[in-house]
Structure 1
Amino acid sequence: MKATFILRKEFKAFERRTPLTPANAKKIIEAGHSVKVETCPDRIFKDSEYQEVGCEITPIESWKQEDERSFILGLKELPLDSFPLKHRHIYFAHIFKGQDGHKEVLNRYIQGNGQHFDLEYLVDENSRRVAAFGKWAGFVGAAISLDRFYQKQLNTPYPAMKSFEDINGLYSQISSHKEESTRNPRAIIIGAKGRCGSGAKEVFDHFGVETTLWDYEETKAGGPFKEIAEHDIFVNCVLMTTKVPPFITKDILAGNKNLSIIGDVSCDPTSNLNPIPIYDDITSWEKPFVETCGLELLAVDNLPSLLPRESSVDFSDQLTPHLLNLATKGIEDPVWKAALDTFNKFSKS
């Protein structure tokens, strides 16, 4: 069976990542399948790099005219629209936890008889995600939170975020702000044992930040946790799948004197699973921090795009073996069936 994958353009502002690098597109083509790539000037890899490995470069949104059996591959949400979705889409939709607009998105699939394979729900037999940006989300979330802690002491607003060509550029920015700071912070990471938490810890270790590491054992009794407010920076790296008592509340923060930065890497404010119910909307690259409860909170939902090359290579390397399985085995492959089962469950409820 020959499969066709169409790597569509991303429409989310400042999104430069891709789920499929040229090197991995080449592997799919060499396996006898077809890869088409919509032109995209913002993508970290140039159109020419895909063309050189045998991909066909197509116009923006040309996927709409492609065969319905094609797999439309992306990262972030499709632009808001109302036309029925008839293809088989692969991307992070953020629609299965009651997020704003989830009913409208599901209805488009129902109307078009299309299918959605959410990248968040591609899991193995142990229910562990097979491809994730977790490390880089935690890495960048901790990095920007730490950068703001140092830079905040200059009494100036945090500037708009930008993507970096590599990690060294990000580290250099933090180091320059650290030189202006009078002290190092104390940080706490919740979800420290996962990919996301390990990424956050890597940054704090690099800059010699004293860090409290919490995971399931420390939180299983249920929050809220007053210990969080004893730190300067709190990074939340927990991907919630069930509702739990909040980690921190406005009441705890009412007398807060230490905590000044929260990096909510999990960033799901409109979901009823949100364990940090002190804000109600994501923040932006233009204004990454919002003031709430006497502190500043980072809630950007595509943090890994600050390091688009490293994060794309890592994610694509994880995902590509499963794309090849999808191309050869079809949707009965257990990993893809798990994602489709999730979609079917919610589209029929």
Structure 2
Amino acid sequence: MTELHLWLRHEVRSTERRTPIVPDDARRLVDSGVELTVEDSPQRIFPAGEYEAAGARIAPAGSWTSSPRDAVVLGLKELPDVPTDLTHRHIYFGHAYKRQPGAAELLRRFAAGGGALLDLEYLVDDHGRRLAAFGFWAGYLGAALAALHHRGRLTAPLRPAGKDDLDETLRPAPGDEPFTALVVGALGRSGRGARAAFATAGVDPVCWDLAETRELDRRALLDHEVMVNAVLATTPVPPFVREEDLDDPARRLRTLSDVTCDVGSPLNVLPVYDRTTEWTDPVRRLCKEPPLDLIAIDNLPSLLPRESSTGFSASLLPLLLDFGAGDPWERCLNRFHQASRELGVEEGESGRG
């Protein structure tokens, strides 16, 4: 492994409790010769003291902006709006390669500063499979919230918990009415998580994947009371739910949980909403009659921050130990260059090493 200075940044989103590297894995990085700086972050599920005990240096929140230029900045969710010129290599979920709102602006910031985006969504193996993902827990929580809402037991604002506490509320209670549920994308990581949550809730969902959606039976889809979408489309496909379906008087679908949250992308399979929902107000009514409620939270795994962070960190650790030395990182960088070209962004000095 080439010499690496890794800088774990504080997340600016107040509801982001996760971390891509947990303290136990931080210790392994330090022991392997990685220089690790961890920003103080009051909301992170693991306190800074645990990273310090693992050998990391602690820095103030947001100080990555003045870190050495060769430091690699690691995070999960969006960057703050300043600085406008991004000079570092950043590892995080950029959501900028499918023409999402703000994508070109973000890539221009990298071009202006000579930095590069190594997007975790595109850190993949030879077959295009993501190597580090929160998918299982995203699916688990997407289905859990849908089941709780459908049974009238979802309370706001949402608060992080442990899995045992969540499952206690999720298990069927006396008086709960049975309902029909559909998981689309059931064979992927998120789909498996959704199926596990429904099992805890005492629900046996119908499971669809590529074979069942290749020729979509929309009538059958709309006949389920609860639907969880766990499909991350990479090529255009017919939408699963359309605007005209909202007013269909025969529609039985009442709760729609979108785990993917690809809102704003032309590849969105649920183009019936234009903004995600929040922890403070997790459910949005899309249609009054017949009623249809939407749950579309784009950081669902942060509701189980310890479990989801531990699993993600275990997957990311070996990749960081081989940072810059293998195909996954090269593919990641190439995808950044490709996306910049597709959006007409002049890259300048971006993508050093």
Alignment TM class, shorter chain as reference: over 0.9
Q: Counterpart of 2:207?
A: 213
Q: Cα distance, 1:158 vs. partner?
A: 4.3
Q: Counterpart of 2:276?
A: 282
Match 1:168 to one of 159, 164, 173 = 164
The alignment of Structure 1 onto Structure 2 pairs a total of residues equal to: 337
Q: Which amino acid aligns with 2:280?
A: E
Q: Cα distance, 1:224 vs. partner?
A: 6.4
Give the Cα–Cα distance (whole angstroms) in 2 for the partners of residues 83 and 47 of structure 1. Answer: 28
Q: Cα distance, 1:65 vs. partner?
A: 1.4
Give the Cα–Cα distance (whole angstroms) in 1 for the partners of residues 176 and 64 of structure 2. Answer: 53
Q: Counterpart of 1:314?
A: 311
Give the Cα–Cα distance (whole angstroms) in 1 for the partners of residues 250 and 259 of structure 2. Answer: 21
> Any idea what the Cα deviations from partners look like across 1:40-77, whole Å, max 9, x if unmatched?
01100011100111000001111111121111000001
Give the Cα–Cα distance (whole angstroms) in 2 for the partners of residues 269 and 189 of structure 1. Answer: 19
Give the Cα–Cα distance (whole angstroms) in 2 for the partners of residues 214 and 95 of structure 1. Answer: 28
Give the Cα–Cα distance (whole angstroms) in 1 for the partners of residues 217 and 88 of structure 2. Answer: 43
Contact persistence 2:245–2:251 (CA under 8 A): no
Q: Counterpart of 2:329?
A: 336
Q: Cα distance, 1:248 vs. partner?
A: 1.6
Q: Cα distance, 1:23 vs. partner?
A: 0.7
TM-score by length of 2: 0.92
Q: Counterpart of 1:304?
A: 301
> Any idea what the Cα deviations from partners look like across 1:267-304, whole Å, max 9, x if unmatched?
11111111111111111110111111331010000000
Q: Which amino acid aligns with 1:283?
A: T
> Per residue, is there more helix in 1 or in 2?
1
Segments of structure 1 that go 5 or more residues without pairing to the other structure are none
Contact persistence 2:65–2:83 (CA under 8 A): no
Q: Counterpart of 1:127?
A: 128
> Any idea what the Cα deviations from partners look like across 1:185-239, whole Å, max 9, x if unmatched?
1100000000100000001112221210000000112x46121111111000011
Give the Cα–Cα distance (whole angstroms) in 1 for the partners of residues 106 and 29 of structure 2. Answer: 29
Contact persistence 1:118–1:339 (CA under 8 A): yes
Give the Cα–Cα distance (whole angstroms) in 1 for the partners of residues 245 and 65 of structure 2. Answer: 50
User: Aligned pair in 2 of structure 1 residues 57, 82: CA closer, same or farther (>3 Å)?
Assistant: closer
User: Where in structure 2 are the equivalents of 1:33-52 lying within 5 Å?
Assistant: 33-52=34-53
Q: Cα distance, 1:257 vs. partner?
A: 4.3
Alignment of 1:22 with 2:23, yes or no, is yes
Structure 1 counterpart SS, 2:228: strand
Structure 2 counterpart SS, 1:151: coil
TM-score by length of 1: 0.93
Match 1:242 to one of 235, 243, 247 = 235
Q: Which amino acid aligns with 2:26?
A: A
Give the Cα–Cα distance (whole angstroms) in 1 for the partners of residues 51 and 64 of structure 2. Answer: 17
User: Aligned pair in 2 of structure 1 residues 208, 180: CA closer, same or farther (>3 Å)?
Assistant: closer
Contact persistence 2:70–2:88 (CA under 8 A): yes
Q: Cα distance, 1:173 vs. partner?
A: 2.4
Contact persistence 1:84–1:111 (CA under 8 A): yes
Q: Which runs of 4+ in 1 moved over 6 A?
A: none
User: Aligned pair in 2 of structure 1 residues 163, 42: CA closer, same or farther (>3 Å)?
Assistant: same
Give the Cα–Cα distance (whole angstroms) in 1 for the partners of residues 51 and 176 of structure 2. Answer: 48
User: Where in structure 2 are the equivalents of 1:67-78 lying within 5 Å?
Assistant: 67-78=68-79
Give the Cα–Cα distance (whole angstroms) in 1 for the partners of residues 250 and 299 of structure 2. Answer: 29
Contact persistence 1:185–1:210 (CA under 8 A): no
Give the Cα–Cα distance (whole angstroms) in 2 for the partners of residues 120 and 181 of structure 1. Answer: 42
Give the Cα–Cα distance (whole angstroms) in 2 for the partners of residues 83 and 206 of structure 1. Answer: 46
User: Aligned pair in 2 of structure 1 residues 69, 82: CA closer, same or farther (>3 Å)?
Assistant: closer
CA RMSD of aligned residues (A): 1.4
Q: Cα distance, 1:179 vs. partner?
A: 2.9
Give the Cα–Cα distance (whole angstroms) in 1 for the partners of residues 54 and 103 of structure 2. Answer: 37
Give the Cα–Cα distance (whole angstroms) in 1 for the partners of residues 267 and 65 of structure 2. Answer: 34
Give the Cα–Cα distance (whole angstroms) in 1 for the partners of residues 333 and 23 of structure 2. Answer: 27
Which 10-residue stretch deviates more, 19-28 or 246-255? Answer: 246-255
Give the Cα–Cα distance (whole angstroms) in 2 for the partners of residues 59 and 271 of structure 1. Answer: 35
Q: Cα distance, 1:13 vs. partner?
A: 2.4
Q: Counterpart of 1:271?
A: 265
Q: Counterpart of 2:348?
A: none
Alignment of 1:9 with 2:6, yes or no, is no
> Any idea what the Cα deviations from partners look like across 1:153-198, whole Å, max 9, x if unmatched?
xxxx84211110x1111112234xx536441211000000001000
Alignment of 1:199 with 2:193, yes or no, is yes
Give the Cα–Cα distance (whole angstroms) in 1 for the partners of residues 141 and 131 of structure 2. Answer: 21
What is the percentage of aligned positions where both structures have the same residue? 40
Q: Which amino acid aligns with 2:269?
A: P
